[in-house]
């Protein structure tokens, strides 16, 4: 018996109501009902969790405290003393980040005949891309169109998406799928080549393409394999700690830090692409996260110091279905494809409370409402709350064996804890998943700082205030390719002056003038999950060597 | 230890008082006392390790945290992903965050999905001793030996299907007496399958032609120009493709 005694009674109710619920479906909420639910229960609406930035291009704009702490912080290097005379690497295009966006940018830049250097914080491919399970959107079926995709994208984003970015996303989407097909990505297809597509939250057509429930991993490992075949130069365990500008304010490369030798390296680059991903590991408002270890907003910090603007940084996506039990995998992702395949969300009484295919912001708010105000959550042995995701419905609706074929990673994840998701439901609660906003770009991935481009989760605008499932894998590839192309084309035209960290000196002066950031340094690079006791033991110590 | 929880859902009062039982484990031969119930990854961090290698996605997808261990009194070597495997009393372990393995360089466009491709790029697969250690060591429980046998026979489809859930952690390569880098063989097989064995999606070809003709340009421009009110109304009234399986029905 995998579930403890205290959860059994509710579990029985889920089973009792299942036959009836198979024939039922919740009505979707009107826009007014949706807004009311969001304002009441979505974490973005907790005013006390945000503060106005005191420095930089977005001075006065509110962002989560956890991010403000990093933006109102000093550099890891002393900009006045740092030696820029010795250049360690010289390249046409420098790409920061080795996930899907960075690797797509690298491949595309090399297609355009320029020299690329890709620097990544952890191993190449360690990223949120590899964790994306459910799918990638593209309007390529007969009953669908890029315009419909646009309607869903902007409607789901709260009608505030940057329209040029949204248009480019939906228009490039089919071409991205074709590119992946030709690289040898194994999409779920019918024998005649027709894509097997399903719904995601907020889609009006079934346009979610998948590779079982390893979609991101399949895409990442193919892109990385191809980039290895193409001889892309890569530096692993080498996060960027600062951007370099030249004396006329053009981006001219970056300072990298080797995590193993603890040395700093100067990279001189004609163009630089930031593809460093999001901020899940900041644990905004104390939420657990689905994100990988390195998701610490580094690129945001660097670009902001260099003068770039941010967009929608006051909005975070909480994925409705993070693991709430067992405790060991708390907060890890349960793919939305589970709901796309027909599993309903069920409260402690065995009843539905929200249509499971509403947009993520709304489903998360509804789950939080159910577990707090309505007190209809299921309590775990450690005092956490969650709601059921009724996974056995999938095989009942779609035939035995569907679950095993369509979501093998989920089956495996729970099997490790003796839970058979084809026979028993699983307990979920929202978890921090995605940075809806980011560095402001245009459809060419330009930032306003000449020579600096941004792609993927680090950028902001395309998803508005709420991203739909399957638009992130699409985003990183559309804008990864656009940034790689535009950076490659621009790199041959650029003439750089002498390297400078004056922008960091100025930022430090602004921090001091506003009474901020004397204690903190950023970027964070890696989170610290050592125990409180361990932290006490380390305190005051000077590292050996 | 990653004790972060949602701020809205504080643990209950009694929970704060429960002291976890501590158990003894050893990392690279050195003993630590850690609370039971943790994953290996969280136990390492509890013990004070600030990991750079041996940690990645923390969710069982990247293969960075391959770990080998024994438990006291048991001769058997066991394996697991540190982020997915729970600690056991008297476990002693080390992580294998990197293992050297040779990858062939090829141009996927030039290849054909024929049987000889595997042996051309990875002739060492013929040295397989059928010891089945690769299968026993796979944290994803894949039948690694069977897909290597399929590669020897040139069966692209079977290599692709059997290896699909591979995380490329490299444990198979670390234990193979024939020095095969199984996961690179599998990668080649999957790319051959995806590019050559699966037909291209014809509806995608059709759509690309329509986009090339600019068929959606005007509609997209009109959506971009639309007032928010008009757009909201269009969004609210859009028809949603029904699930073929269950007809929509009113809630109770």
Beta pairing, strands A385-389 & A345-346 = antiparallel
So what's the pLDDT on residue A516?
A: 84
* Cα A153 from Cα A168, distance rounded (Å): 12
Instruction: For residue B224, give the 3-state DSSP assignment.
Output: helix
Residue with the two structure tokens 């701020």: B7
pLDDT in tens, A148-159: 999 999 999 999
- CB–CB of A408 and B198 under 8 A? no
The whole-angstrom distance between B176's CA and the closest CA on chain A is 22
Residue A55 pLDDT > 90: yes
Residues from chain A that touch B6, judged by Cβ atoms under 8 A, are: 285-288, 429-430
Question: Is residue A319 annotated as a catalytic residue, yes or no?
Answer: yes
User: CA separation (Å) from A295 to A122, A307, B19?
Assistant: 11, 22, 31
Of A1, A122, A124, A133, the residue nearest A413 (C-alpha) = A133
**What chain A residue is nearest to B58 in terms of C-alpha separation?**
A292
pLDDT in tens, A394-423: 999 999 999 999 999 999 999 989 999 999
| Chain A contact for B209 (CB, 8 A cutoff) | no
Instruction: For residue A42, give the 3-state DSSP assignment.
Output: coil
The whole-angstrom distance between B32's CA and the closest CA on chain A is 12
- Give chain A's count of helices (H) and strands (E): 16, 20
* Cα A278 from Cα A298, distance rounded (Å): 8
Residues from chain B that touch A142, judged by Cβ atoms under 8 A, are: 203, 206
pLDDT in tens, A89-117: 999 999 999 999 999 999 999 999 999 99
Angle, CA A374 vertex, CA A372 and CA A376 arms, to 5°: 85
So what's the pLDDT on residue B3?
A: 43
Beta strand extents in A395-541 (DSSP E only): 426-435, 438-440, 452-454, 459-460, 499-500
| CB-based burial, B107-146: b 16+ in 10 Å, e otherwise | ebeebebeeebbeebbeebeebeeeebbbbbbbbebebbb
Average pLDDT, chain A: 96
Residues from chain A that touch B246, judged by Cβ atoms under 8 A, are: 22-23, 25, 342, 397
* Cα B84 from Cα A218, distance rounded (Å): 20
* Cα A508 from Cα B128, distance rounded (Å): 61
* Cα A468 from Cα A433, distance rounded (Å): 12
- CB–CB of A286 and B4 under 8 A? yes
- CB–CB of B167 and A23 under 8 A? no
Task: Report residue A184 as tokens.
Answer: 């040898």
From A149, A339, A440, A463, the catalytic residue: A339
Over residues A211-218, the mean pLDDT reads 96
Q: Which residues pair with A435 in a beta bridge?
A: A316
The torsion angle over the Cα atoms of residues A442, B231, A174 and B193, rounded to 10 degrees, is: 110
The torsion angle over the Cα atoms of residues A359, A380, A390 and A293, rounded to 10 degrees, is: 50
So what's the pLDDT on residue B49?
A: 95
Which ranges of chain B does DSSP label H, i.e. alpha helix? 13-17, 40-46, 116-121, 133-137, 144-152, 156-163, 171-175, 182-192, 202-212, 217-225, 228-237
Which phi and psi (to 5°) does residue A351 adopt? -115, 150
The whole-angstrom distance between A489's CA and the closest CA on chain B is 22
So what's the pLDDT on residue A528?
A: 94
The whole-angstrom distance between B158's CA and the closest CA on chain A is 13
| Chain A contact for B28 (CB, 8 A cutoff) | no
pLDDT in tens, A451-482: 999 999 999 999 999 999 999 999 999 999 99
- Contact between A179 and A489 (Cβ < 8 Å): no
* Cα A499 from Cα B185, distance rounded (Å): 45
- Contact between A200 and A134 (Cβ < 8 Å): yes
Beta pairing, strands B66-71 & B78-81 = antiparallel
Of A186, A146, A206, A136, the residue nearest A474 (C-alpha) = A136
- CB–CB of B106 and A205 under 8 A? no
Task: Report residue A127 as tokens.
Answer: 């990223």
- % pLDDT > 70, chain A: 99
Residues from chain B that touch A183, judged by Cβ atoms under 8 A, are: 108, 191, 194-195
Predicted complex ipTM: 0.94
* Cα A68 from Cα A49, distance rounded (Å): 11
- By Cβ distance, the residue of A145, A181, A211 closest to B216 is A145
- CB–CB of A147 and B4 under 8 A? no
Of A204, A218, A192, A99, the residue nearest A150 (C-alpha) = A204
- By Cβ distance, the residue of B4, B59, B194 closest to A186 is B194
So what's the pLDDT on residue A1?
A: 53
So what's the pLDDT on residue B2?
A: 44
Residue A81 carries which DSSP code?
Answer: T
Over residues A339-351, the mean pLDDT reads 96
Q: What is the pLDDT along chain B (252 residues), one digit of tens a residue?
A: 344 444 444 444 444 456 789 999 999 999 999 999 899 999 999 999 999 999 999 999 999 999 999 999 999 999 999 999 999 999 999 999 999 999 999 999 999 998 899 999 999 999 999 999 999 999 999 999 999 999 999 999 999 999 999 999 999 999 999 999 999 999 999 999 999 999 999 999 999 999 999 999 999 999 999 999 999 999 999 999 997 654 333 333
pLDDT in tens, A20-48: 999 999 999 999 999 999 999 999 999 99
* Cα A104 from Cα A485, distance rounded (Å): 10
Question: Is residue A112 annotated as a catalytic residue, yes or no?
Answer: no
Residues from chain A that touch B200, judged by Cβ atoms under 8 A, are: 178, 181, 193
| Chain A contact for B163 (CB, 8 A cutoff) | no
So what's the pLDDT on residue A146?
A: 98
| Chain A contact for B36 (CB, 8 A cutoff) | no
Instruction: Give the pLDDT band of residue A328 (cuts 50, 70, 90).
Output: confident
């Amino acid at each position: 018996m995998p579930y403890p005694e205290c959860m059994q009674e509710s579990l029985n109710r889920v089973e009792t109501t299942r036959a009836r619920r198979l024939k039922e479906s919740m009505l979707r909420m009107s826009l007014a009902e949706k807004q009311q639910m969001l304002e009441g229960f979505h974490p973005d609406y907790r005013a006390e969790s945000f503060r106005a930035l005191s420095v930089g291009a977005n001075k006065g704009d509110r962002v989560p405290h956890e991010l403000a702490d990093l933006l109102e912080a000093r550099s890891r290097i002393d900009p006045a003393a740092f030696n820029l005379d010795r250049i360690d690497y010289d390249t046409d295009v420098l790409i920061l980040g080795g996930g899907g966006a960075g690797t797509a940018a690298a491949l595309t830049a090399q297609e355009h005949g320029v020299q690329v250097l890709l620097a990544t914080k952890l191993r190449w491919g360690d990223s949120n891309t590899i964790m994306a399970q459910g799918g990638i959107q593209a309007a390529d079926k007969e009953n669908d169109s890029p315009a419909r995709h646009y309607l869903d994208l902007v409607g789901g984003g709260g009608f505030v998406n940057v329209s040029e970015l949204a248009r480019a996303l939906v228009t490039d989407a089919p071409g991205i799928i074709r590119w992946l097909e030709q690289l040898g990505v194994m999409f779920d297809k019918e024998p005649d080549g027709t894509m097997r597509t399903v719904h995601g939250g907020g889609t009006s057509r079934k346009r979610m393409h998948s590779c079982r429930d390893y979609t991101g991993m399949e895409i990442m490992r193919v892109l990385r394999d191809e980039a290895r075949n193409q001889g892309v130069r890569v530096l692993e365990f080498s996060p960027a700690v600062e951007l370099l500008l030249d004396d006329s304010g053009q981006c001219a490369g970056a300072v990298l830090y080797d995590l193993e030798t603890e040395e700093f390296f100067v990279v001189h680059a004609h163009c630089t692409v930031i593809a460093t991903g999001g901020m899940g590991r900041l644990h905004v408002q104390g939420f657990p996260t689905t994100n990988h270890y390195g998701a610490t907003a580094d690129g945001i910090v660097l670009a902001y110091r260099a003068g770039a603007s941010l967009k929608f940084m006051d909005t975070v996506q909480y994925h409705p279905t993070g693991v709430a039990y067992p405790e060991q995998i708390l907060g890890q992702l349960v793919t939305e494809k589970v709901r796309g395949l027909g599993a309903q969300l069920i409260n402690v009484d065995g009843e539905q409370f929200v249509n499971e295919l509403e947009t993520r912001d709304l489903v998360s708010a509804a789950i939080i409402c159910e577990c707090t105000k309505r007190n209809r959550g299921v309590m775990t042995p450690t005092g956490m709350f969650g709601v059921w995701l009724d996974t056995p419905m999938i095989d009942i609706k779609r035939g035995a064996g569907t679950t095993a074929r369509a979501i093998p990673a989920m089956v495996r994840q729970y099997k490790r804890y003796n839970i058979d998701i084809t026979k028993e439901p699983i307990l979920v609660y929202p978890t921090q998943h995605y940075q809806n906003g980011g560095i402001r770009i245009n459809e060419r991935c330009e930032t306003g700082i000449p020579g600096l481009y941004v792609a993927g989760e680090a950028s902001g605008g395309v998803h508005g205030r709420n991203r739909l499932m399957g638009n992130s894998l699409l985003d990183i590839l559309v804008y990864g390719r656009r940034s790689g192309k535009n950076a490659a084309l621009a790199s041959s035209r650029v003439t750089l002056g002498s390297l400078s960290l004056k922008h960091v000196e100025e930022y430090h002066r602004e921090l001091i003038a506003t009474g901020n950031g004397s204690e903190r340094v950023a970027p964070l690079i890696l989170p610290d999950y050592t125990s409180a006791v361990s932290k006490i033991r380390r305190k005051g110590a000077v590292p050996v060597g | 230890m990653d004790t972060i929880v949602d701020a809205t859902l504080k643990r209950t009062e009694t929970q704060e008082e429960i002291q976890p039982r501590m158990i003894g484990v050893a990392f690279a031969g050195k003993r630590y006392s850690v609370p039971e119930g943790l994953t290996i990854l969280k136990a390492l961090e509890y013990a004070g390790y600030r990991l750079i290698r041996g940690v990645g996605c923390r969710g069982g997808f990247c293969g960075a945290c391959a770990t080998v261990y024994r438990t006291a009194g048991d001769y058997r070597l066991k394996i697991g992903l540190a982020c997915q495997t729970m600690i056991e009393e008297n476990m002693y372990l080390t992580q294998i965050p990197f293992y050297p393995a040779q990858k062939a360089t090829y141009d996927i466009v030039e290849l054909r999905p024929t049987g000889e491709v595997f042996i051309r790029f990875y002739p060492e697969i013929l040295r397989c001793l059928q010891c089945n250690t690769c299968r026993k060591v796979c944290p994803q429980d894949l039948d690694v030996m069977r897909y290597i046998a399929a590669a020897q026979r040139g069966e692209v489809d079977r290599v692709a299907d059997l290896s699909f859930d591979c995380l490329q952690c490299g444990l198979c390569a670390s234990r193979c007496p024939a020095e095969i880098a199984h996961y690179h063989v599998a990668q080649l097989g999957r790319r051959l399958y995806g590019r050559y064995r699966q037909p291209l999606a014809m509806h995608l070809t059709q759509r690309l032609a329509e986009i090339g003709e600019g068929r959606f340009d005007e509609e997209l421009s009109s959506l971009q120009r639309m007032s928010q009110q008009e757009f909201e109304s269009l969004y609210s009234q859009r028809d949603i493709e029904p699930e073929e399986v269950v007809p929509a029905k009113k809630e109770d």
